[in-house]
Amino acid sequence: MTTSVKQLMEAANAAVSKITPVQARDMIGKANTLVVDVRDANEVANTGKIAGATNVSRGMLEFRADPESPYHDKAFAKDKTVILYCASGGRSALAGKALKDMGYDKVFNLGAFKDWAESGGAVDRPA
């Protein structure tokens, strides 16, 4: 049986709670929170990213998040709250589902970067 993108998105959205920029700011203000931008590097270079966020493209996320991977990023820890975002919320939902499947419990989808920026959230602008 094959799975469509629509079905993948439905499963991801059911598994990963969506949060608002206000909720994200509250979470970021507390310790032990990792904010991950899953957009590609060229997207981040064009628009910037949430201040302090780590950019890990969607294609590398599982490798960075898995402590057994040679590409593991020590910023990823299963006891952290993880907030993900992308350009529209689709990749971050799928990324959140992948992290949940990998044993990360506190995973949230902020959705679109533009929503954060338009709400007045702090942004690291490109040089």
Residue 44 lies in a domain: yes
C-beta separation of 108 from 124 below 8 A: no
Q: Is residue 126 in some structural domain?
A: no
Question: Is 124 among the domain residues?
Answer: no
| Tokens describing residue 106 | 């506190």
Q: Which domain holds residue 28?
A: 5-117
Per-residue pLDDT of the chain (127 residues; tens, 9 = 90+): 898 999 999 999 999 999 999 999 999 998 899 999 999 999 999 999 999 999 999 999 999 999 999 999 999 999 999 999 999 999 999 999 999 999 999 999 999 999 999 999 999 998 7
Asked if residue 68 belongs to a domain, the reply is: yes
Q: How many domains does the chain have?
A: 1
Cβ neighbours, 10 Å, residue 118: 10
CATH number at 55 reads 3.40.250.10
Q: What is the value of pTM for the model shown?
A: 0.95
Instruction: List the alpha helices (DSSP H) in 16-112.
Output: 21-29, 41-47, 61-65, 90-101
Cα 111 to the chain's mean position, in Å?
A: 8
Rounded to whole angstroms, how far apart are CA atoms 70 and 18? 31
In a domain, 127, yes or no: no
